[in-house]
Structure 1
Amino acid sequence: MNPENFLVRPYREQVEAYSLPDRWQKIAPGVYADLEKLAGLPSAYSDDPAGEEARRFDLLILRLQLACLGAEPGFTRMRVRVQEIATALLGQTTIPLVRAQAELLEELTTDAWWQDVTLPMLESVRLRLRGLIRLIEKGRRNVVYTDFEDELGEISEGGITWQPLGDDFEKKIRTYLRSHENQLAVQKLRRNRQITTTDLDELEQVFLGSGLGTTQDIEQAKARHEGLGLFLRSLTGLDREAAARAFDRFQTGRTLTANQLHFLNMIIDILARRGLVDVGQLYDPPFTQLTPSGPEKFFTASDIDTVESVLDQVRSTAIPASQAM
């Protein structure tokens, strides 16, 4: 605050007093009214460029730190929240800022990182990730911040019951798929080959028989992802070579510009990681980092229609033909 400002001048003594860090070590109840008056005075302070999402993340980490000290309940719920955020960011590693933190993001999704977690470890996570939260794609922000207000005030489960990480169905299935990549059905999912009802039925029986999940877990996954095949594809991703092959016909007989190639490679990178891309995502980060106005800057309407057809075809191979609409 500028003490020479005519609005600040009447409170100059208090402003100067509370500009000293020592005065904030212990706030007596009797001075709250004075501080409220000061809070309304004009200031040269500029708002956080990382946005509201970063401040919410700050508060989430603070509450995790308090939970570590035993002064705050709900550690498991908040840990899962951070892991959801990390998972969402891992889908954005085509953005250099996010890619630079990929190793940390991967570690956050594991059990091991959270064993004996310390306050400095959590503070490091806050500092390294707070500026990235705004880069989470719009389609996943609702998932990441569902009932996030619960973290800001009174705790309310919002109708969701989080299970301990060791019981997390999605993580168990992801681990199974990674360790069984040579299985025919898993190969089909990764190599963009048509999955069948028989393939999915067999996988479902394996999941149930191996205790990886319950019928309810599977049905919930089907409902959230519009089918078991799409759920599994989102976990396996696509083999990058298979993702690139899907666009062979699009590139045949033409020479793409550097910007067009970059844009296309971004699509392929996301397909390799997440297995699916909706054409609407081409108007969201990370694509808007390259062209804020959308793909129309680099491609004709006909080209975009062709790209959409390719993405639809990739999606269709994770849906049995008998279930396709």
Structure 2
Amino acid sequence: MFYIFDWCGNFDYFSENPEGIGSSNSMSLTERLFSLRLDIAKELQSANHQEKEFDKKLHDDLKVLLHQQVRSIVKERKDARPYWGIIEPFRDKDRWTCLSEEDVLKLKEIGKLIPKDSDDESAKKFDVIMLHLQLALINPEVHAGQFKQVVVNIASHLEKKGTVPIVMARINTIRKVQKPQFWEEESLNGLEYVRTELRDLIKLLEDTRKTKKFIIDIDDPYEMVETIGDSVIQTSYKQRVIDYLAKNTDNPTLHKIQNFEQLTSADFAELERIFFEELGTRKEFEELAEGHPYKNNVAAFIRVINGIDRKKALQIYQNFINDSNLTSEQERYLKNILDYVSVNGDIETKSFMEYPLKMNNWRGAFGDHFIQLKDFVKQIHRVIS
């Protein structure tokens, strides 16, 4: 026999609440930053950004950091084991070359597993603000809400601390962000510079934290809409599409798109019904597809969101060349084609004359197999046209 002295009333509590206390759904700062950086890196994959020196460098730096964070999750952690099927593929550096929407969605599932670093909490809160502003600048679906005014307010409070040497060392940046001209000429380069210049100064504002709010609560899968009062949260059309594709992985038509199989007229009609009626309207789709080469082709749009089966694509090409061995240069060029399809959703032979594919010496690399390469590209286009 033994006695149990239940001073805290655990037996009474769990007899009424057998499931215990539900876990909180709030995101940590580390998870929020991981999610924001994923979204920014995904947006910067487009040719428009890859042509710009700063944008490309920011893209590369973000992916190096994100890859390191994923690799820091060890298999020995009990909470990581259920997600190891997601984690392990992304431990490979090459897996980060071109992220699809589905990749980003999967990676966000493991954001809560990213180890917390020793960085100052107030600096990370400022990072959240600045990264959200960066994302809003490059993604028209994301709105910055009142974040610009928050940055102006922070700079105003910092300027009052001119007796602190580190403040005076960065006073030009502090004054610059308070001027309307900075926000009228807003740039990715400028926002990143402000983030790195001011993040370490936010801890100096602890004495103002009682009266001024610098803590931001962002729910990343939603769209922040700027209003006069508080921000209103509503699900975006793009997010509804991503959710639908994630929940319907067994759909036969989606399998055809993934595996480069020929779509029928019935397949196209069903896709348009889902995207133009069930998930939203044709106008919403056209607004989301504006500026992209796939235009109103829903199947090509799905390729961009879900990615493509690269192994299947390379197998198709091998069939064209009768299983001949590829040179390292040919492998690299084929990878460029698949990256192009992942970003743009489709490809045609005329794409060889456009940036970035025109930079490669295709005829020199493939020689007698160049005709088969063109047939391969035609098949990738034909199955969804």
TM-score, normalised to structure 1, is 0.47
TM-score, normalised to structure 2, is 0.41
